[in-house]
Structure 1
Amino acid sequence: MQEPIPGAATSGAPPGFGPTGRLLLALSKALSMVGGLVFVALVVMSIVSIVGRKLASAPVPGDVEMLQMCAAFATACFFAYCHLVGGDVKVDFFTARCSDRARAWMDAAGSLLFGLVGAVLAWRSAVGALDMRESGETSVILGWPVWLAQMLMLPGLVLMAMAGLYMVGVHLRSPDTVMTGAVR
């Protein structure tokens, strides 16, 4: 992680972000907060269910179904923000000796793959959700429509795709990848 310089003014957005990047970052941050709140609610629900099961033989009905459906949605909420702030895992053991320019190009390629994976996941999740909607598939205990849980993942996956593709441009516009008149 990069620590901020004490006393330096920060805009909240990483270097190289334009208005589109700042908007993506704000949307991603808001969605990740929603995902975090969903996880907190799931933890509370799980504690209530476990305690109810142990003390009163009265668990929360459908707790596992709720956990599965809501955790899928909440997890999808974090991908874009994590990528935009550079929080995803990178194995730099092999690239430590590469030039800054080579690393920037590899980061751009990784962001492109990240964006493409997000787009494919969003597309296939939408297709799968629509198929489940047509078939009328519901959860066993609660009878909740399964397609709805899958469709709720779409905003996070679409933002994931957009974040990846945006970061390609950020990496390619970085001073390390743009050729100038100076010899590097």
Structure 2
Amino acid sequence: MQEPKPATPFALKDSFGPGGNFLLALARLMAIIGGLIFVGLVLMSVVSIVGRKTVGFVVPGDVEVLQMLAAAASASFFPYCHLLHGDIKVDFFTHNMKQKTLWIIDAFGSLLVGLFGALVAWRSWAGAMTVKDAGETSMILAWPVWIPQAFMVPGFALLAVAGGYMFVHQLRMAARGRP
């Protein structure tokens, strides 16, 4: 058994075409934004922890902010990961299959990923609107809870698009017999 290696963005540019390259660039931008959010959360946590232990200063609502933004930041990585074949794959049974068969299996997996992304985006939006209608706010900062929940929707919506794109792309590769 061997470790699957994710593709590099440069290797995919030739096989994706203009629409796929635009999708890849958009997913990369979203992943960068998610990474910057995490960097900000880490810096905020460090300031809060060091301040609490040294001078008695604490960032008010630091845990609330962390909880609210971490989910949205995490969701922003999924589309880029899927487009680069960075998903977890178990190839124990498919190790000796023909490449064409693997592309068809990967296409089916991408279809499931796309459907999952669409479902989670839809339910995240519905949940956010329900929380908005209820007027729920965070306990310490009194921030509306629906806004960070709605921030998860673009990541999952783009995951749905990426899954659909990869479904078609992998079926085309199987039909052509090459990337």
Query: Is TM more than 0.5 here?
Result: yes
- Judged with a 3 Å threshold, the aligned counterparts in structure 2 of structure 1 residues 30 and 158 are, in CA distance, closer, same or farther, namely same
Larger Rg computed on CA atoms: 1
Percent identity of paired positions between Structure 1 and Structure 2: 51
- Displacement of 1:2 in angstroms is 6.2
1:61-106 CA deviation, whole Å, 9 max, x = no partner? 1111100111111001100001001111111122101111211111
Equivalent AA in structure 1 for residue 124 of structure 2 = S
Q: How does 1:1-184 map to 2 (within 5 A)?
A: 1=5, 13-174=12-173, 177-178=174-175
TM-score with structure 1 length normalisation? 0.88
Distance 2:99 2:14 in 1: 16
5+ residue gaps, structure 1: 5-9
5+ residue gaps, structure 2: none
TM-score with structure 2 length normalisation? 0.91
Tell me if the contact between 2:6 and 2:84 (Cα under 8 Å) persists in the aligned partners.
no
Distance 2:7 2:155 in 1: 27
Tell me if the contact between 1:14 and 1:85 (Cα under 8 Å) persists in the aligned partners.
no
By percentage of residues, which structure has more helix? 2
Distance 2:14 2:171 in 1: 13
- Displacement of 1:14 in angstroms is 4.3
- Judged with a 3 Å threshold, the aligned counterparts in structure 2 of structure 1 residues 120 and 62 are, in CA distance, closer, same or farther, namely same
3-state DSSP of counterpart to 1:178? helix
Paired positions, count: 173
3-state DSSP of counterpart to 1:123? helix
Tell me if the contact between 1:17 and 1:170 (Cα under 8 Å) persists in the aligned partners.
yes
